[in-house]
Structure 1
């Protein structure tokens, strides 16, 4: 039974989301490259005291604005240099988005819709995954959701000139400003486009003149402009690089993470599973009064809310589908409207006719059983040979989904037990969440290097150089507290200010120079991919000793200390790879 007090309900949703996202947050190692990069930028802000200029491996890094780095740095100050601290902001932003989504769903469609919208969002696989991942997108998703919720609250007034509407508009402007500091002007672009498109669909564009746009601009500028001005003053050329290179050129020309326009379709379906199946029901229920006379239409404005949500989703989907450069996390700001529509569909389940309800539940159950079967086969044939633990994880996830599907269909046959049916599938998804977290831990050897850092750390005494060959391991400086010298690698760390050849002591520009440094007698640990080890072993003198490995990377050493026990096993593992 729902709590009668709205504030209490939202506080309960926040508490439940915190219980879901916070336990074990710091247990997995930082995933390469994103988590390692953002963690190290925040760490370097703390140790340097410079919160204006982001640096990665102490090189200028202006690809993203600083708000999430600031949040991670604050967490590091409180909790220390560890994985929990750098992931905490993403978890808190995600908790906040669950609460805001529930509040917006309540305002649009009632308390039950708010409950189920919170449930659908919090237990969506994609949302859960990034709530426990140190990246910028949860912050953008939260601030954009909050900005659009505030705008919708303002628009529900008959006039934008009313004090309550003006207050909500100013709140929306502040949220867009914080979203801009989280990931750039994309927050303003998307938020403005969604709001204007919806106003046009409602025939209310004339009301734009009633909005307190001057005050909105003042608030937005007061939050955003100071950092941009300071960053440009300390780093001339920053604004051109940030606006032109990082946003305009990357949007129209970048092929990094290149995918076709279809990319987000499976991401959305899989990322919101199984709640995506209830979206059509929620949509049809919100549009139920289409075509009725004005006097008979639903006074709560369901159709206007439906248009707002569909425009919200489509604008974000289309915007991020156009460029070739895409990541699954980009779609996070579009999950809230889907969760609200799915939540309304879940709330309407008891009102469905028996035949329609059983048909819908049968579709969901069959789809879950089919996915469970695929997971079983994939776990046995693909995951288990890589890592037996991964195979077991996959089998447990598939089993939970199958059990939930069967229980949901059996319980949902009777209208009086629909709530139990929804609870069954929710519990099944809840059971998969810790299993999914364990999958990440069991798959750590694929793209994490915490163990490698721990192995090499005792060998980094004094002035020993930590270097990487033709790549940059983002998390090693975070774990070892040492700057990483890059050999024949420039990459994104040099996009703003490329190093002059031979002048940076932390860039070795050629194999010949590497051989000179290696043979000079100065201590060096060189992180290499296994495929490069043989060629380097033949060319470097003294012959490198392998002191550790993780995944496909090995640590080569030119010093006098003996390799740790088990280091020889790295060569055997490399031979198998």
Structure 2
């Protein structure tokens, strides 16, 4: 095996496993450092925790109310993680962390099988350092899980249809593809079928290749897909007759076609997330697009397929009327494969110029460190921003050291060493910055709040959330809270079970007075309104955004 510059790249036997071990320690070691934050992390942790508590593994509930916006797989995995590791922040984030790690490993394995050992190493380094893969693997949402299954579907298809695959290998890899699409469907719905299917249709139309459609193992594949997905959809529909309309019509077609969910954005909404998310390899994007489209292999044109996959995901979610930054995450493993293939054909000197942009960005963050006070405000005080800035500065320093070594290695023609240095530096820098967010994230979570008010949370305490709701509050309290005059995403659940909440603020004083003990989270405006009405309340916690009161 040889590098693009012609020098041998044999590694000491123990080095590659040691690097994987180091990668795993950094990757998983930081999962539990930060407290959970509003909204996604608290939402999905709460659903999983109360699923474990209730023993109902079919009907998902958010804060005790029916919640049918997403399928079940993420909640199962979260509940299983709590059962295995206990109720803690590491367990809450374990599933996205695990699926992110598996995405990196799967990308490396696929590149190795398609193009050789060297390319597999580059694929691991490219995927494991991509800022958007690293960040989303350490944040509790649905997107890393669905991205992993979509990556598995893509990689399974590439391995099944590659030149030289035996009939048995082709069948097994296609079965993996069908199973992965089932996993994606159970993670986030119909995009588990739409994205792979639309990509293949577009690929066939643009390249006029249709032969692989006959090698899809349709009968056994569809049987496997429905055997994995149908049981839960049938059971949840039997127990909840309103599920099918809400999930398939409202959460798929209306979400895509209307602005009901208030997550609109310009057509270029995802451009900055693509450019930032691909760091430290952003400036290589034009090169990999050009090289990928130039793929004119006689069989499956892997480069073109990876590009079509990426462009379709980007265009599809750009067209959607509901946008969130992490929606384009499934395109990054495909770009990592293109990057890996490009590294093997690139002269070390050619990579040098691509170190400049990420180095300058991290240098700018380091230079801004002494001036963090200028960004302080009432909602984001200096005592919150300063620790965050320290972590970012430390991450910037680590990255710049890695970039300096990469430059030195490239000067000596050591391509693999340079890519490895830059990759681990990027992983460390993004991880440190994410850890630093904890100081700011405390304003968007309830971990410290619940720790301070714990003496007031007896088993018979009534817990309310009045005209305000922090998704992490019921998770850290360990029980559902009664919502008062708050709707938002609970509209469906509150409509189905009106006895579980108080729709009007006027109903709250009577419930408060009737409870033997009670605590409530609310804003200062609501507190002042209730105080003028003479409701007895004792302030037991307050920050710039919310407060907690107890019944005296």
Partner in structure 1 of residue 393 of structure 2:
395
| Separation (CA, whole Å) in 2 of partners of 1:553 and 1:393 | 26
Q: How does 1:22-171 map to 2 (within 5 A)?
A: 22-157=28-163, 162-171=167-176
Partner in structure 2 of residue 536 of structure 1:
530
| Separation (CA, whole Å) in 1 of partners of 2:409 and 2:217 | 52
1:322 is aligned, of 319, 322, 333, to 319
Q: How does 1:509-528 map to 2 (within 5 A)?
A: 509-520=503-514, 522-528=516-522
Deviates more, 1:379-388 or 1:485-494: 379-388
| Separation (CA, whole Å) in 2 of partners of 1:426 and 1:211 | 36
Residues 237 and 216 of structure 1, relative CA distance in 2, 3 Å threshold: same
Residues 156 and 13 of structure 1, relative CA distance in 2, 3 Å threshold: farther
| Separation (CA, whole Å) in 2 of partners of 1:171 and 1:422 | 31
Deviates more, 1:513-522 or 1:212-221: 513-522
Partner in structure 1 of residue 252 of structure 2:
247
Q: CA deviation at 1:34?
A: 1.0
Residues 449 and 521 of structure 1, relative CA distance in 2, 3 Å threshold: closer
Structure 2 stretches lacking a partner, 5+ long: 1-8
2:149–2:183 CA contact under 8 A, matched in 1: yes
| Separation (CA, whole Å) in 2 of partners of 1:541 and 1:84 | 40
2:31–2:93 CA contact under 8 A, matched in 1: yes
| Separation (CA, whole Å) in 1 of partners of 2:33 and 2:544 | 18
1:17–1:98 CA contact under 8 A, matched in 2: no
Greater relative contact order: 1 or 2 (C-alpha under 8 angstroms, separation 6 or more)?
2
| Separation (CA, whole Å) in 2 of partners of 1:65 and 1:152 | 27
Q: CA deviation at 1:556?
A: 1.2
**Matched residue SS, 1:467:** strand
**Matched residue SS, 1:189:** helix
| Separation (CA, whole Å) in 1 of partners of 2:430 and 2:243 | 41
Q: CA deviation at 1:323?
A: 1.4
1:469 is aligned, of 466, 469, 477, to 466
Q: CA deviation at 1:313?
A: 0.5
| Separation (CA, whole Å) in 1 of partners of 2:214 and 2:531 | 71
Structure 1 stretches lacking a partner, 5+ long: 291-297, 560-577
Residues 124 and 446 of structure 1, relative CA distance in 2, 3 Å threshold: farther
1:452–1:550 CA contact under 8 A, matched in 2: no
1:39–1:86 CA contact under 8 A, matched in 2: yes
2:340 is aligned, of 340, 343, 347, to 343
1:547–1:555 CA contact under 8 A, matched in 2: yes
1:173–1:219 CA contact under 8 A, matched in 2: yes
| Separation (CA, whole Å) in 2 of partners of 1:244 and 1:390 | 42
Q: CA deviation at 1:387?
A: 2.5
Residues 347 and 9 of structure 1, relative CA distance in 2, 3 Å threshold: farther
Residues 55 and 333 of structure 1, relative CA distance in 2, 3 Å threshold: same
Q: How does 1:58-457 map to 2 (within 5 A)?
A: 58-157=64-163, 162-254=167-259, 255-285=261-291, 304-349=301-346, 351=347, 354=349, 357=350, 360-374=351-365, 376-377=367-368, 380=372, 381-382=374-375, 385=382, 386-414=384-412, 416-457=413-454
Count of equivalent residues: 536
| Separation (CA, whole Å) in 1 of partners of 2:138 and 2:219 | 38
What's the RMSD between the two structures over aligned residues?
A: 2.8
Residues 202 and 111 of structure 1, relative CA distance in 2, 3 Å threshold: farther
